A and B are shown apart, each in its own frame.
Chain A
Amino acid sequence: DIVMTQSPDSLAVSLGERATINCKSSQSVLYSSNNKNYLAWYQQKPGQPPKLLIYWASSRESGVPDRFSGGGSETDFTLTISSLQAEDVAVYYCQQYYGSSRTFGQGTKVEIK
């Protein structure tokens, strides 16, 4: 199985500041035939199910604020929150869908400093 490793495990950012979460896969999730990275990002607030934010590494799901952006390729990816808002406090997960067994990172908890 492809192992997904996120860093850091947690981070505290001031309101209005940038938050960056990293995700590294144990093998490339870039499919050469269509040049797409099979990687998604989710947000999970306390007591709620996960919510899809980003797919294909950088495509924003409908309704997701544009302060959320995804980047990277092959094995190294980032989720950036350009200006942290109070409602962004949550745990964020990356997930690969390249392998037959879809796997998630361990999660990164984002808090307000």
Chain B
Amino acid sequence: EVQLVESGGGLVKPGGSLRLSCAASGFTFSGYNMNWVRQAPGKGLEWVSSISSSSGYLSYADSVRGRFTISRDNAKNSLFLQMNSLRAEDTGVYYCARDGSVHDYWYFDLWGRGTLVTVSS
């Protein structure tokens, strides 16, 4: 079955760190660009970060640049998001999403169920 499964969410204090993981299965993970998209409680969707299939290109939303780091391990079919200096406004569900393009950055054609990150003292 083609799927993405996120893990690593939880409750963390402001200023703290968390590492999210996304396990991919059912498709050739190494052939796709991958992304993180988040959703604050009761709010809309916000693209967070993207990584190319070979990890050669990384991009971040202005709201997380300098604090979050995206990475991947193609041998383990896994995507990661290291989140440092967390703020209350980083609270939300974080989705792992596959890019609809092999060579570019387009729409998101496969989504995980998400992992909840709560930043609170």
List the count of A-B residue pairs having beta carbons below 8 Å apart.
Answer: 52
* Cβ contact within 8 Å between A95 and B45: yes
Give the number of chain B interface residues (Cβ < 8 Å): 18
Interface of B is mostly: loop
* Cβ contact within 8 Å between A102 and B47: yes
- Cα of A93 to Cα of B106 in the assembled complex, Å: 15
Most B-side CB within 10 Å, residue of A48, A55, A93, A100: A55
Contacts of A49 in B (CB 8 A): 95, 111-114
Contacts of A17 in B (CB 8 A): none
Contact with A along B95-115 (1 / 0, CB 8 A): 100001000011111011110
* Cβ contact within 8 Å between A55 and B47: no
Shortest Cβ distance from A47 into B: residue: B113
- Cα of A55 to Cα of B47 in the assembled complex, Å: 17
Residue B56 at the A interface, CB < 8 A? no
Interface of A is mostly: loop
Q: Within the complex, which residue of A52, A97, A103, A105 is in contact with B105, where a contact is CB–CB below 8 Å?
A: A97
A interface vs B, CB < 8 Å?
Answer: 38, 40, 42, 44, 48-52, 55, 61, 93, 95, 97, 100-107
Kindly list the 6 A-B residue pairs having the minimum CB-CB distance in the complex, ordered from nearest: A40-B107, A49-B111, A104-B45, A102-B47, A55-B107, A97-B106
Known pairs A52-B108, A100-B59, A104-B44 / 17 extra A-B pairs, C-beta < 8 Å: A40-B106, A40-B107, A42-B108, A44-B45, A48-B113, A49-B95, A49-B111, A49-B112, A50-B95, A50-B108, A52-B107, A55-B100, A55-B106, A55-B109, A95-B108, A97-B107, A104-B46
B interface vs A, CB < 8 Å?
Answer: 44-47, 59, 61-62, 95, 100, 105-109, 111-114
